[in-house]
């Protein structure tokens, strides 16, 4: 299946080429996006309109999307991770499509955001078994040092059918 945008047909395979497979395990943190931005081809406006906008809320002309990686050896589906940048909110999202480009699932899996008083950060590790470990912490704006007792750990799992579940 192909998405039609302004009478131009986009193939899922063209989108997937912009998300290179990585060797697992991989860690996603605030420094990762610079490397992905430097190494990967940018998403075109048509890619974003066809495959990202329909599944994202509150996108405006200042929202930035950077392709990061694809999960290797998924065979029956594509699992892609992109970075979304907004004002005071930056996050990594995993989105899955079947081989024909049909949407399967989407989850925010890490990132950083601030409400002006607290800085929240989530560092993510995706392991070889497609388990997604997320360590979340927070720092008060008036604090210099991070308090590790505020950390929380959660797990997600990428299933063989392309669904992303809490585990």
What is the reported pLDDT for 2? 54
Residues 120-163: tens digit of each pLDDT: 899 999 999 999 999 999 888 777 776 777 799 999 999 999 99
Phi/psi of residue 147, nearest 5 degrees: -100, 105
pLDDT computed for residue 7 by the predictor = 42
**Domain total for the chain?**
1
Domain containing 89 equals 8-161
Of 131 and 117, the structure prediction assigns the larger pLDDT to 131
Q: What is the pLDDT of residue 80?
A: 98
For 40-56, what is each residue's pLDDT tens digit?
989 999 999 999 999 99
Instruction: Answer whether residue 153 is part of any domain.
Output: yes
- Tell whether 167 is covered by a domain: no
State percent of the chain over pLDDT 90. Answer: 72
Instruction: Identify whether 166 is part of a domain.
Output: no
Does the structure show a pLDDT above 50 at 103?
yes
What pLDDT, on the 0 to 100 scale, is given for residue 142? Answer: 75
Give a yes or no: residue 24 inside a domain.
yes
Q: Is residue 72 part of a domain?
A: yes
Residue 59 covered by a domain: yes
pTM of structure: 0.91
Residue 60 lies inside a defined structural domain of this protein: yes
What is the rounded distance in angstroms from the CA atom of residue 68 to the CA atom of residue 28? 9
Q: What is the DSSP string of the chain?
A: --EEETTEEE-HHHHHTTS-B-PSSEEE-TTHHHHHHHHSPPPPHHHIIIIIGGG-SS--TT-EEEEEEE-TT--SEEEEEEEEEETTEEEEEEEEEETTS-EEEEEEEEEEEE-SSEEEEEEEEE-TTSEEEEEEEEEETT-SS--GGG-EEEEEEE-TTS-EEE-
Q: What is the mean pLDDT of the chain?
A: 91
Residue 1 lies in a domain: no
Answer yes or no: are the C-beta atoms of 12 and 104 closer than 8 Å: no
């Amino acid at each position: 299946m192909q998405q039609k945008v302004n009478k131009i047909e986009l193939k899922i395979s063209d989108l997937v080429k912009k998300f290179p497979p990585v060797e697992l395990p991989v860690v996603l943190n605030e420094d990762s996006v610079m490397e992905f931005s430097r190494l990967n081809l940018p998403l075109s406006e048509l890619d974003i309109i066809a495959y990202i906008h329909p599944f994202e809320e509150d996108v405006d002309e200042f929202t930035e999307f950077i392709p990061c990686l694809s999960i290797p050896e998924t065979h029956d589906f594509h699992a892609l991770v992109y970075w979304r940048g907004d004002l005071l909110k930056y996050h990594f999202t995993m989105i899955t499509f079947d081989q024909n480009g049909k949407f399967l699932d989407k989850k925010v899996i890490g990132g950083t955001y601030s409400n002006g008083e607290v800085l929240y950060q989530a560092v993510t590790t995706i392991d070889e078994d497609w388990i997604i470990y997320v360590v979340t912490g927070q720092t008060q704006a008036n604090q210099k040092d991070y308090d590790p007792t505020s950390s929380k750990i959660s797990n997600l799992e990428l299933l063989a059918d392309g669904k992303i579940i809490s585990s």
